Structure 1
Amino acid sequence: MKNINRLLALSTLASFISGCASFGKGIAEAYFEKQETADTRVCEVFGRPFKGIMPYLENPQGKMKVLMVHGVGDHLPGYSTQFVEKLAKELQLNVRAKRAKNIALTDPLDTSKKLGNLRVQRLLNKARTKELLFYELTWSEITAKEKAVLAYDNSGEYSFRRAQVNDLLKKFSNDTGPDPIIYLGDSREDILIAFTQSFCWMINGKWQDLPDGVSQGCTFDNPQAVNNLHNDQYAFISHSLGSRITIDGMQRIAAFFGDSSFRPELKRPRELVQALREKEIPLYMMSNQLPMLQLGRKLPEVNGQKDAYCTPGGSHYNDRMVSKTSIIAFSDPNDLLSYAVPQGFVEKYLDSRLCIDATNININVATIFDAFGMGKMANPLDAHIGYDTDDRVVAMIAQGIGNGHTAKIVNEKCSWVETID
């Protein structure tokens, strides 16, 4: 009887503890679910209105072409798939080519170099009246050999000694941390050649003209390039280190077109240079790191002279690279690796020949929650990688803000403060 009473007591205690655990779990789940029901995430736009990609899709004379450049960490071709699918849905492009085209990038002056991959997708609407060519640059192959120096640290010989979570964090650090350091070294030139080659392929032909499954260099002396530059529209999308690569790549192209002694073996037709000077190219930056990656670098060759290069009648107006580069910088304040692009930074640290105008967007892509009264917090990793899956970000890239076709979600969820000179 005594043993039976003990069993009953233990059963009652176990039920009580289990009930308390379930009750506590229920409270916690209800607490966080309650916070998630109300989306209070910030979306604040400071800058000029911009159109997005949509208005340029229906162009009987040319095509809309977008290049995406990834950031730190190893990437494989196809990394942009989720973003492309969300963008296509926002743009109502529900027809696509059966397969993407892939070009193994190389240097036309040294075809032994392996400079990554350019993946191209063709997206259309059902009526075939709208078309988008989406170019995805994967440059990880360039840094992979140097990052292999740390491969031993990810092996079982070392990783098993760490706590599981710490081991995951160390592998993440080994994957992402070296890239900005490597970029400051000798590999930087190859990465910028990969960007230049990607831009060259963008302007050199239509979908049917692009090669597939080959390693091939691209040059700017293609007779079609001038007409394509006149008729096509272009945009860049970048993430983290990709923003620095894109700006540096554009500055490198400016140097190439402006200095015949730079890689003199390659031709640069005068008509092509002039056609490029008439273009306006938007650059959508996600988790922009330009200010941090400027540390320790020299100033660009041409800086602080925007009026001279970008204002009609300016003393160097005919030496500009493009008519205008619109930077649209998305930054989550809780992203530890993202920075705004203030106008003072643009004028001092970015090449004046790019005629840059910046719009800054403070946007919480990660959910902010109250950690049981200890303060509000957001997962910094989610804040760093969540841009390309955020509906508001995708909608602004697709349809802009401050115009007649701005997406409903942007009008409802984002505030806009227009800036003027």
Structure 2
Amino acid sequence: MKLLFKIFFLSFLTISLSGCSSMGKGMVEAFFEQQNTIDTRVCEIWGKAFDGLSPFLDNKKGKMKVLMVHGVGDHLPGYSTQFVEKLAAELDLPVMSAQKKNITLTSIYDSSKNLGNLSIVRLLSKDRSKELMFYELTWSAITAKQKEVLAYDNSGEYSFRRAEINNLMKKFSNDTGPDPLIYLGESKEDILVSFEQAFCWMIKSDWQNLPDGVSKACAFNSEGLAANLKIDQYAVVSHSLGSRITIDGVQRIAARIDRRDGDFREALKQKKIRIYMMSNQLPMLQLGQKLPEVSNQKQSYCQPGGDKYEKRVLANTPIIAFSDPNDLLSYAIPSGFVDKYLDSRLCADVTNVNINVAKI
């Protein structure tokens, strides 16, 4: 939309100026020259300092593993390719596995379910001393069937009656608008199981032992998970609705922690799992959600010496929320949100990163 608006605005500006170029040319040129020389965009950070991924790439005992969870709209496996390539360039990891591995996610209790796709790629430094495994979760298959209800509205029978710009907007709306509504309905359970399965596979295996081209479920009580938890480092990158899915998915794991083996629970207690939220919409997507089972008890669960410290689920969950004040659907996470709306057992901290893309 921003691009379309800019094109429209510049076209209008060109037509308007053509009739008064002798009077306005110098002023307009000066304005645009000033825009090009003065960068008024801002990047502001509120909250605790946070780690990036780079310090954990040369982990001699384990691996650095990153899971990406997409947001609204139909996505196909491979949607994260540009992100992965830029990440690899920034981290100086130019060696990529020749082929990705793909797992069709399913449920332990119902193997007939298609819960999306998990695609895994391995990144290495030239000397092989640094390594990152990137897991891309695509859950769109779960909502695709229900979104077919609106498919007729994109057909020529209806679309030709609209102005071109309105037709583009309607297609975008039909693609993205239903997902939050579907998530709040019956499909929420399947989407959260999809996240759990992706999270489980991220913990479970190294590159050599990961399956490929199969439909298979991962069990949290599988042998080796606790051992990997102790040595590997984990992070999640999410976008829009994906941030809600990530938080709900981690809270679901917390709510079922008593079902896990003791070794797994103890290993998870020592773990810090970083969550990087892009185009953050967590506050808006909290609307209509139930409060977590445990809230407003962070001191008890997260401070050594707290009366419930041994019952925490994670040692720490740093949430780094990226938002743009000029993005209509982007929100910072306000003070007090964590205590009230996030499970206290996650021991979450929030750092807001305000990136102003537009010049102001």
Q: Give the TM-score of the pair, scaled to structure 2.
A: 0.91
The amino acid of 2:267's aligned partner reads A
Matching residue of 1:351: 343
Cα distance in 2 for residues equivalent to 1:103 and 1:32: 51
Matching residue of 2:313: 321
Question: What SS does structure 2 have at the residue aligned with 1:359?
Answer: strand
Distance 1:33 1:244, change over 3 A: farther
Matching residue of 2:331: 339
Question: What SS does structure 1 have at the residue aligned with 2:212?
Answer: coil
Question: What SS does structure 1 have at the residue aligned with 2:256?
Answer: helix
* Structure 1 residue 26: Cα displacement: 7.5
Question: What SS does structure 2 have at the residue aligned with 1:209?
Answer: coil
Cα distance in 1 for residues equivalent to 2:189 and 2:37: 48
Kept in 1, the 8 Å contact 2:201–2:218? The answer is yes
* Structure 1 residue 85: Cα displacement: 0.9
Cα distance in 1 for residues equivalent to 2:191 and 2:255: 16
Kept in 1, the 8 Å contact 2:101–2:213? The answer is yes
Matching residue of 1:210: 210
Distance 1:109 1:36, change over 3 A: farther
Distance 1:276 1:180, change over 3 A: same
1:282 is aligned to 2:279: no
Question: What SS does structure 2 have at the residue aligned with 1:99?
Answer: coil
* Structure 1 residue 343: Cα displacement: 2.9
Cα distance in 2 for residues equivalent to 1:34 and 1:144: 47
Name whichever of 88-97 and 334-343 sits farther off: 334-343
Matching residue of 2:162: 162
Cα distance in 2 for residues equivalent to 1:350 and 1:152: 39
Distance 1:203 1:37, change over 3 A: same
Question: What SS does structure 2 have at the residue aligned with 1:343?
Answer: coil
1:140 is aligned to 2:131: no
Distance 1:307 1:126, change over 3 A: same
Q: Which runs of 5+ in 2 are unaligned?
A: 1-14
* Structure 1 residue 60: Cα displacement: 1.1
Question: What SS does structure 2 have at the residue aligned with 1:132?
Answer: strand
* Structure 1 residue 127: Cα displacement: 0.6
The amino acid of 1:284's aligned partner reads Y
Q: Residue 299 of structure 2 is aligned with which of 293, 302, 307? A: 307
1:123 is aligned to 2:123: yes
1:77 is aligned to 2:77: yes
Cα distance in 2 for residues equivalent to 1:110 and 1:317: 36
The amino acid of 2:344's aligned partner reads S
Name whichever of 219-228 and 242-251 sits farther off: 219-228
Name whichever of 220-229 and 61-70 sits farther off: 220-229
Name whichever of 116-125 and 23-32 sits farther off: 23-32
Distance 1:83 1:23, change over 3 A: farther
1:367 is aligned to 2:358: yes
Give the % identical residues.
65
Q: Spell out, residue by residue over 1:204-237, the C-alpha distance to the aligned partner (whole angstroms, 9 max, x if none).
A: 1100111111111111122221111000000011
CA RMSD of aligned residues (A): 2.0
1:183 is aligned to 2:174: no
Cα distance in 2 for residues equivalent to 1:225 and 1:158: 52
Matching residue of 1:398: none
The amino acid of 1:333's aligned partner reads P
* Structure 1 residue 355: Cα displacement: 0.3
* Structure 1 residue 30: Cα displacement: 7.4
* Structure 1 residue 83: Cα displacement: 1.0
Matching residue of 2:4: none
Question: What SS does structure 2 have at the residue aligned with 1:207?
Answer: coil
* Structure 1 residue 314: Cα displacement: 1.4
Question: What SS does structure 2 have at the residue aligned with 1:158?
Answer: helix
Q: Give the TM-score of the pair, scaled to structure 1.
A: 0.78
Q: Spell out, residue by residue over 1:40-63, the C-alpha distance to the aligned partner (whole angstroms, 9 max, x if none).
A: 211001111112100000011000
Question: What SS does structure 2 have at the residue aligned with 1:182?
Answer: helix
Cα distance in 2 for residues equivalent to 1:29 and 1:134: 46
Q: Give the paired residue count.
A: 344
Distance 1:274 1:95, change over 3 A: same
Cα distance in 2 for residues equivalent to 1:190 and 1:74: 16
Question: What SS does structure 2 have at the residue aligned with 1:346?
Answer: helix
Q: Which runs of 5+ in 1 are unaligned?
A: 1-16, 261-267, 369-375, 377-421
Kept in 1, the 8 Å contact 2:104–2:115? The answer is yes
Kept in 1, the 8 Å contact 2:72–2:179? The answer is yes
Distance 1:40 1:199, change over 3 A: same
Matching residue of 1:222: 222
Distance 1:22 1:83, change over 3 A: farther
Cα distance in 2 for residues equivalent to 1:245 and 1:33: 44
Cα distance in 2 for residues equivalent to 1:33 and 1:228: 55
Matching residue of 2:7: none
Cα distance in 1 for residues equivalent to 2:31 and 2:149: 46
1:88 is aligned to 2:80: no
Kept in 1, the 8 Å contact 2:326–2:358? The answer is no
Kept in 1, the 8 Å contact 2:63–2:131? The answer is yes
Matching residue of 2:48: 48
Q: Spell out, residue by residue over 1:71-129, the C-alpha distance to the aligned partner (whole angstroms, 9 max, x if none).
A: 10011111111111111111000111001111111111101110111011100000100
1:291 is aligned to 2:273: no
Larger Rg: 1
* Structure 1 residue 295: Cα displacement: 1.2
